[in-house]
Amino acid sequence: GGGVIGDMAGFAAASFQRGVYFIQVPTTLLSQVDSSVGGKTGINHPLGKNMIGAFKQPQVVLADMAQLKTLPPRELSAGLAEVIKYALLGDVEFLTWLEQHIDALVAGDETLLAEAVYRSCAHKARIVANDEKEQGERALLNLGHTFGHAIESYLGYGVWLHGEAVATGMVMAADLSCRLGWLSEADVARTKNIIQRAKLPIKCPEIPLDEFLSFMSHDKKVLNGQLRLVLMRQLGQAIITKDFDVELMQQAILANQEKA
């Protein structure tokens, strides 16, 4: 299955008898490039996504490209959100490659999808190897996720796919990075363009700001009561920071919502 099945099975494997072996067989693009790799397992809670979980590494991950032929277009696009994430957070050359091939990836080109999965897993494996329990660098993998999880939690899990929420979350992160003077408006436009070409949303439905902020306050990156965000100093260079103007963050959230 996809990320939900993999996370549930992994959490059960981590908990039963304090840990039994398990194998990840991801059958969605999102789970192949992200959730099946790295050992994070968890289940959702009304207060927030993946609030209950454990670190449990699978014995092996079997990613069969043929399974991607079974995906609806919406699921394939959702997976591409996480692929784009790796490019934005740490590999601007990969971003250029995606811009060259995104239309064929959306169309399901097997060779290009295999390359995208390989490159994404290599990025994640490198970061996880340096920081398995997310004490530092691994949090970079949450680019777009703090905003995205708030969208998912407010709308209700499953209304928007995880990748769709992350896509809009990455736009919010890029917008805030621009307001802080780190990204140019052209960088933000480039971010929006690749996300739109992947058939993903760049705005979320209107969400009351106080509720949006409340869900963000439950994020696992909150440390000593202070929210930390993954933002971009430049395309391909993400940072984890608590040094941002909250008012500018609120502006970035509101600017990327569809007004009712």
Reading the block at residue 117, the tokens are 């999965």
Look up 162 and say whether it is catalytic. Answer: yes
Catalytic residue, chosen from 49, 134, 220, 256, is 134
Look up 123 and say whether it is catalytic. Answer: no
Q: Cα–Cα distance between 244 and 10 in angstroms, integer? A: 35
Look up 220 and say whether it is catalytic. Answer: no
Look up 145 and say whether it is catalytic. Answer: yes
Catalytic residue, chosen from 119, 142, 164, 179, is 142
Tell me if 240 sits within 8 A of 229, measured CB to CB.
Answer: yes
Residue 242 DSSP label = S
Look up 138 and say whether it is catalytic. Answer: yes
Q: Please give the angle made by the CA atoms of 236, 237 and 241, to the nearest 5 degrees.
A: 145
Rounded to whole angstroms, what are the CA distances from 26 to 13, 36, 40? 16, 6, 14
Look up 45 and say whether it is catalytic. Answer: no
Catalytic residue, chosen from 40, 56, 192, 220, is 40
Look up 258 and say whether it is catalytic. Answer: no
Look up 218 and say whether it is catalytic. Answer: no
Measured torsion, CA atoms of residues 236, 242, 247, 249, in degrees rounded to the nearest 10 = 30
Catalytic residue, chosen from 56, 85, 119, 149, is 149
Look up 40 and say whether it is catalytic. Answer: yes
Look up 85 and say whether it is catalytic. Answer: no
Alpha carbon 195 to chain centroid, angstroms:
13
Catalytic residue, chosen from 44, 49, 50, 82, is 82
Catalytic positions: 18, 40, 82, 124, 134, 138, 142, 145, 149, 162
